[in-house]
Structures are given as structure tokens and as C-alpha cells.
Copies of this chain bind each other. A is one copy, B any other.
Amino acid sequence: MQKITLSYGDGGKLTYNLIENIFVKHFKNEYLEKLQDASLLKIGKEDICFTTDSYTVSPIFFPGGDIGKLSICGTINDLSVSGATPLFLSSSFIIEEGFDFETLEKIVISMANESKKENVKITTGDTKVVEKGKVDKIFINTGGIGIKDKRMKLGIERIKLGDLVIINGDIGLHGLSIITKREGIEFESSIKSDCSSLYPIVKEIFPFGEKIKFMRDPTRGGVAATLNEIVIKSDIGIKIYKKKIPISEEVNSLCEILGFDPLYIANEGKIIIIVDRKYGEKVVETMRKQQLGKKAEIIGEVTDKIKRKVLIETEIGVERVVEFQAGAQFPRIC
């Protein structure tokens, strides 16, 4: 009998297959076909975005954040990259018997602070407590509702040959902050999670309207998974340039030591934008004016040299395919 392994949850090819072959297959409806971070719903005269995410990150406190902050940022980001202004959140807690009240309150305060900062309201919730050993400390689900910005017309099908691929900054920070904490080596590194709400930078992109073809936050599975999800559903390929990808010295060397490829490492404060070639520089300039976009770069372009694949050109000019999945890297980074 086939079993669910950890790889089904790492955001790569197996996650994609599980979603397609079990969830989309049975829940079949017009909303699920696009497989976006948030679904776009017409309710009366309003275009509303709706999303959900469960957070099972371990450890629950890590350099740069905690499960509470992550649960708010992650859901705000899913709405933001769908071209929506986040308005309302739900929060649902599954807590292990024996969990500290004080720690719970710390997590809740972290959620409250992050949502207030972004002017988003937590309007509904749920609490379950399960027996000791039946859940690992605390899991949080947040759902989100946002109102679609009417200027935005996002869709993988709108991506064309020559379009540019932009990222707002350094990759690999979130995943590495979790791993260093988990392995007890966080004091030897200064790597902090990039866990942030992306709405402040995304809202500056909204005025570019239909020139923006696609946006996504490269979380689980990293930049590699996000770019592969784009090409797998289309007739194009994407080529990126290693030397253009913002990455810190420290992330680079830690990845070398640990044997990771930073392209597969989760980010929680990064956004990938695909834009009409003519507007690439303007979008980058706009992003660099924002705190979260100081290191924004054009990292690649849409190509017809290869279809349904992602290529990377290394520093020495060699091209290789960036596979969807490099095997299970690590579970529970979000």
C-alpha cells in the first residue's frame, strides 16, 4: 500500500502530484484549476481572494521569528502575491496537552503585533487541545480574505517569451534559520529568517497593473519549486543566471558545508515577479525604494530555448536544468 512520505510535504514535485491527483481530482471545480496561492472568488460585485495555510514549523521559535509571526506573514503573503489587499484572517490552534500558557500568549502576541502592523484583522478562530504526544507542541492554521486589486491581471497563461524574472532580495534565509536552530548551531551563524509581510512592497507593484504577469513567494521548495511550477503548466521555459541571484556569503558557505542548494531553500519574505520585459528595470527601481526590496534584481527571463524546464547559467557560463525537486531537503520549515 502506497504511503505518504515526508517528501510529499516539501513543496516539490511529489507535493504537486499529491495535490493534482488527490485533491484537485476529487474537489474538481473551476476555482482549483489555476492552483494559485489564493483562489479568486466573485461574491456579489466583489472580487475576493481566499487562502489557507497550516503552520507546523519546528522549532516554534527561531532566529527572526516564531510560528505565530510566520502564520500571519505567510497568509498575508499568499493574498499579496495574488494581487489582493489582505483584510481579514482566521486563526485556528491545535495545542498539545501540557503546553505552557505563557508560551501560547507569547505566540498570540506575536500574531497580534504582525497583523496590527499590516492593518489586518483576525476575526474568527478555533482552538483544539489534543493529548500529549498526539501533536508536536502547537500547529496553527490561518485563513485569509483579501480584496483583489482591480489593476492586477495575474495568470501563468499571460507569461510570454522575453518576460523578465525578478526577486526582491537574498534567498535561503528562512530555511537556514530553521535548520541552524534545529541543529543547535544557530549561535555560530548570524542567519535570521526573512519572515516578513510582503504587502508593503507588493502594493507598490500594483500600479504596474497588467504589465505584471505573475507573482509568487518562493516558500517551501524555494525558488526552484516556484519557477518549476510556472513552467510545468505552460509552454515556455525559464532561464536564470546564478551570478544575478542575490545570496549572502554566509548563506553560500553554510549551504556548501551542509550540502544544500540555496535554490531549494524556503524563503518567507521573498517574492518572485514575472514582468513584461520593457518594465523590468522600472519594477526593480520601485522595489529598491522599499525596505524589503533593497537588493531586488532581475535574475532571469522567459525563454523558448527549452520548454517546461528551468535552466540556470552558472558563474562559469555552463547551463544546467534546475529540477523541480532535489529530494526531500527538510520537513517542517513552515
Residues of A within 8 A of B (CB): 1-10, 15, 18-19, 22-23, 26-29, 31-32, 38-39, 41, 43-46, 48, 50-54, 56, 58, 87-88, 90-102, 104-105, 108-109, 111-112, 115, 121-131, 133-136, 139, 141, 143, 145, 147, 331-332, 334
What's the nearest-Cβ distance from chain B to residue A155, in Å? 16
Smallest Cβ distance from A50 to chain B, in angstroms? 6
**Cβ of B51 and Cβ of A90 under 8 Å apart?**
yes
Is the pair B135, A135 in contact by a Cβ cutoff of 8 Å?
A: yes
Q: Which residues on B sit within 8 Å (CB–CB) of A58?
A: 134
Which residues of the partner chain B approach A41 to less than 8 Å between Cβ atoms? 87-88, 123, 145
Known A3-B101, A26-B108, A27-B112: A92·B141 in contact at CB below 8 Å: yes
* Contact of B141 with A23 in the complex, beta carbons under 8 Å: no
Q: Is the CB of B145 within 8 A of A54?
A: no
Q: A26-B109, A27-B121, A50-B90 are in contact. List 4 more A-B contacts (CB 8 A).
A: A23-B91, A29-B121, A29-B123, A41-B145
Q: Please give me the residue from chain B that is nearest to A146 by CB atom.
A: B43
The CA-CA distance from A53 to B92 in the complex, in Å, is: 6
Provide the bound-state CA to CA distance between A95 and B128, in Å: 17
Assess whether B4 is in contact with A95, with CB atoms less than 8 Å apart: yes
Closest to A48 in B: B43
Most buried by B among A56, A111, A129, A134: A129
Q: CA A147 – CA B135 in complex, angstroms?
A: 34
What is the bound-complex CA distance between A95 and B15, given in angstroms? 12
Q: List 11 A-B contacts (CB under 8 A).
A: A1-B100, A3-B98, A3-B101, A26-B105, A26-B112, A39-B123, A44-B44, A44-B147, A50-B88, A52-B124, A52-B143
Main secondary structure of the interface of A (DSSP, over half): mixed
- Judge whether B8 and A123 touch: CB under 8 Å: no
Closest Cβ neighbor of A96 among chain B residues: B4
Q: Tell me the bound Cα distance from A241 to B332 in angstroms.
A: 51
Alpha-carbon distance A44/B58, docked complex (angstroms): 39
Which residues of B lie under 8 Å from residue A102 when comparing CB positions? 1-2
Smallest CB–CB gap between A319 and chain B, Å? Answer: 33
How far apart are the CA atoms of A135 and B133 in the complex, in Å?
A: 8
**A58, A87, A101, A332, most chain B CB atoms within 10 A:** A101
On whether the beta carbons of B127 and A18 are closer than 8 Å, the reply is yes
Given A1-B102, A5-B129, A127-B19, answer yes or no on A54-B108 (Cβ-Cβ < 8 Å). no
Q: How far is the CB of A211 from chain B (nearest CB, A)?
A: 26
A130 touches B51 (CB 8 A): no
Find the B residue at minimum CB distance from A135. Answer: B135
- In the assembled complex, how far is the CB of residue A32 from the closest CB belonging to chain B, in whole angstroms? 6
**Minimum CB–CB distance for A332 against chain B, Å:** 6
Contact flag A126-B52 (CB < 8 Å), given A97-B6, A131-B332: yes
